[in-house]
Structures are given as structure tokens and as C-alpha cells.
Amino acid sequence: MKALIAGAGISGLAAGIALRQTGMDVEVLERSQEVREVGAGLMLWPNGTRALQSLGVEITALSVQRISLRNWRGRQLTEAPLDSIAKRYGSGTALVHRADLQAALLSSLGLDHVSLGSAAVGFEEHRSQVVVELQDGTVRTGDLLVGADGLRSVVRRQLMGDEDPVYLGSTVWRAIVSSNEIELPREVGINWVGRGSEFLAFHLGGDRIYWAGVTKEPAGERPGDRGHKVDLLQRFGSWAEPVPALITATDEAAILRNDMYDRPPARYWSRGRVTLVGDAAHPMTPNQAQGACQALEDAVAIGESVKRASDLSEALGLYERLRLRRANRVVTMSRQATRSVQIENPLLCIIRDTAIRLLPPSLMLRMLDTTLAPQPAAEN
């Protein structure tokens, strides 16, 4: 059997590895002329690192020892009990550059399984095969098509016929900067929250720091005449250090700006010989740091489903039973977290911050169970 995968991002490469492990022939169709990611760091929670172990993928990552949530003035509100989290969920939490993760996945899959410059623009299903049309007019034929082509997935649009993704009212700026002379503890992730905004930062390997700032903004707004740094310092310049220092130390050209989108939870991801993974299936805001982790879980689940099932229809049904409810729950939780960050009323911000500060660690762990605990096996 042959699987065609549209998209060579994290979800597509991981799905390719999982399906190859079942004995399927795999071809990943990537629209770009090279496989690359820029400008972003990732926090891999235990469900993400556990999925990588299942896929047999090794990455160079910085182990994180503490995650601190603070208000914009620098007062600590709470700290995630990472020792307890690692023991409870059987794996640690890691900090990694998105490009490093993607490179590790590509190395594990093999570049010979990726067709560059191959943009999928549509598909046709037949009784015994699926035919994918590429932008250059050529076609690819396989037994299974996996849409891993992101937020505005071509495969999803044809499969589900739904509308455009939903703008959530916030914009994220992000960059990677040299850690020289920046006072930020290593192996610590810090998230500051303010009125309608937040800022996070953590070390990556190789003397690099990843940071991201989020504020409420109109959709599609462009940077001001003096560029991103001035815009950011207007919004975050009075925040606790090292927030202003990180922005000041970053080259203007290194700063990326993107509006934040998601979609309402879907009722299904599969039809016939076609299914979805990653952002094509369940795009979510970054506020739960679960986008990559959920994509990796998708990959493991689709591989396990193909191994356990007697035919493709049964496999995709099992895949949805393993993943649909769990991933949709994370989409909802991420959107709720975004709404919490978007609070601007000073009194409501005080109530929010006080609730976070008073949250018992034991309750925090129970709340994390729905996301980080190993998935129960689905019944066939």
C-alpha cells in the first residue's frame, strides 16, 4: 500500500515515519523547493516527547526544569511542578527549535520519501485508489491521502467544504535572539501575562533564546513606519526585564509577525481514503503549547490504527476514535486560554491573576491529565 501525504511540516513528516513503520510506501508532497522552518521555538510537553519516543526520533533539545507564570511586572503567579509532571506522565518536558525538530523528523523519514516542489491542489477518490493533482498538472496515485498541509489545508477544504479559519483577535510576534548579556535562567520557561497581552521566553540550545509577544490587534494590521521593534517596545517596553531587553537585542529582520487563527472543533477528519493530521485537522492557538505535541500524537495514532486494522476504512475509523475527542478538547482549551490572556479590564485581570496564584499544584496536575496523560487504547 502507498500513502500520499500533503505537506512536509512536523505533522506530515511524523505521519510519514509512522506509516512507514507499518510497511506502507510513503511519498510526502511538499509545495516548497526545500524543507525548512524559521524563527520559532517549541515547548514539547510529556505527550510530545513520549510520541517522539514512539516514533523512534531523537532530537537535540534543552531539558526544562521550571515553567514560571508571572504578571507583567514580574511577580510570580505560579510555577508548573515539572518534577511531578515527569513522574506522573512518564516523560519530561523539552525546549527545541522548530527547525531542529523538523530536521530530525526528515532525517528519520529520509529525504528520498519527500517530493519537493509538489503542491497538492486537489484529489479524486476512486474505489481502489486516490489520485492527487499537483499544481504543475501531474498526478500522484496512492491508497491513502493524508492532509498535513496546515491551517488553510487544500485537502481539508475539499474533504470538508468548510469556511476559512477564524481570526481570534490577537497577533503574535516571535523571534530567536542570541542569549549574550540577556539575564534569563537556562532550563526555565517564563510566561508573563498582562492586560490583553502576554510575553514568553526560553532558552534553546546553542546560546539562543526564543521569545514571543502576543497582543490584541485588528486582523491584517501591518507594522508601523519604524518597524516591528518600535511597535513591540510601545506595547512591552514597560514590562519586567528581560522582556524589553530581548526585544531591543533582536534584529528587526529576525522578527516575524502573524495573526492567530483556529477553527471550531470538527465532527470528523476522514472520508473514504482521505484523512487529516496536525493543523489541517485541528488548528489551535499556541496558548497551551500543544500544536506540535498534538500533531505528533496524530502520527503515532494513525500508525497504530493502520497496524491494528484489517483494512483502510477500519483504520481511519479507529484513528478518529483515538484522536478526535482529545484533540478537539485541546482546541477548546487553547481558545479559552487565549480569551483569558485577552482580558483587558484591570479588575478582571486581578481576579484572573489571583485565581492562578491560588491554584493548588494538585489541581493543576488533575487539569493537565486530559492533555498529557497517555491515550487509552480505542476499541476496534
For residue range 355-379, what is the model confidence (pLDDT) as tens digits? 999 998 888 888 888 888 887 666 5
What is the pLDDT at residue 380? 56
Residue 347 has pLDDT above 90, yes or no: yes
Q: How confident is the model at residue 260 (pLDDT cuts 50, 70, 90)?
A: very high
What is the pLDDT at residue 147? 98
What is the pLDDT at residue 83? 81
What is the pLDDT at residue 8? 95
Of the two residues 15 and 127, the one the predictor is more confident about is 15
Q: Output the pTM of the full model.
A: 0.93
Reported as type and span, the H/E element at residue 97 is strand 94-97
What is the pLDDT at residue 39? 63
Within 13 A of 138's CA, how many CA atoms are on the CB side? Answer: 7
Grid cell 512536509 in the structure block, residue? 8
What is the pLDDT at residue 377? 67
DSSP 8-state code for residue 169: E
Residue 67 has pLDDT above 60, yes or no: yes
What is the pLDDT at residue 365? 82
Mean pLDDT of 101-129: 95
The domain over range 2-165+262-372 is classified in CATH as 3.50.50.60: yes
Reported as type and span, the H/E element at residue 145 is strand 144-147
Convert the pLDDT of each residue in 325-344 to its tens digit. 999 999 999 999 999 999 99
Nearest to 370 by CA among 266, 290, 287, 286: 290
Angle between helical axes of 291-308 and 46-55 (0-180°, round to 10): 40
Convert the pLDDT of each residue in 144-163 to its tens digit. 999 999 999 999 999 999 88
Per the CB < 8 A criterion, the answer to whether 98 and 42 are in contact is yes
Nearest-angstrom CA–CA distance, 372 and 53: 15
Convert the pLDDT of each residue in 213-258 to its tens digit. 999 999 888 888 889 999 999 999 999 999 999 999 999 999 999 9
Average pLDDT, the chain: 92
What is the pLDDT at residue 66? 85
Convert the pLDDT of each residue in 131-145 to its tens digit. 999 999 999 999 999
Per the CB < 8 A criterion, the answer to whether 291 and 212 are in contact is no
Residue 114 has pLDDT above 90, yes or no: yes
Convert the pLDDT of each residue in 5-58 to its tens digit. 999 999 999 999 999 999 999 999 999 998 876 668 889 999 999 999 999 999
Percentage of the chain lying above the pLDDT 70 cut: 98
DSSP string, 204-218: ETTTEEEEEEEEE--
What is the pLDDT at residue 80? 85
Q: How confident is the model at residue 65 (pLDDT cuts 50, 70, 90)?
A: confident
Per the CB < 8 A criterion, the answer to whether 93 and 49 are in contact is yes
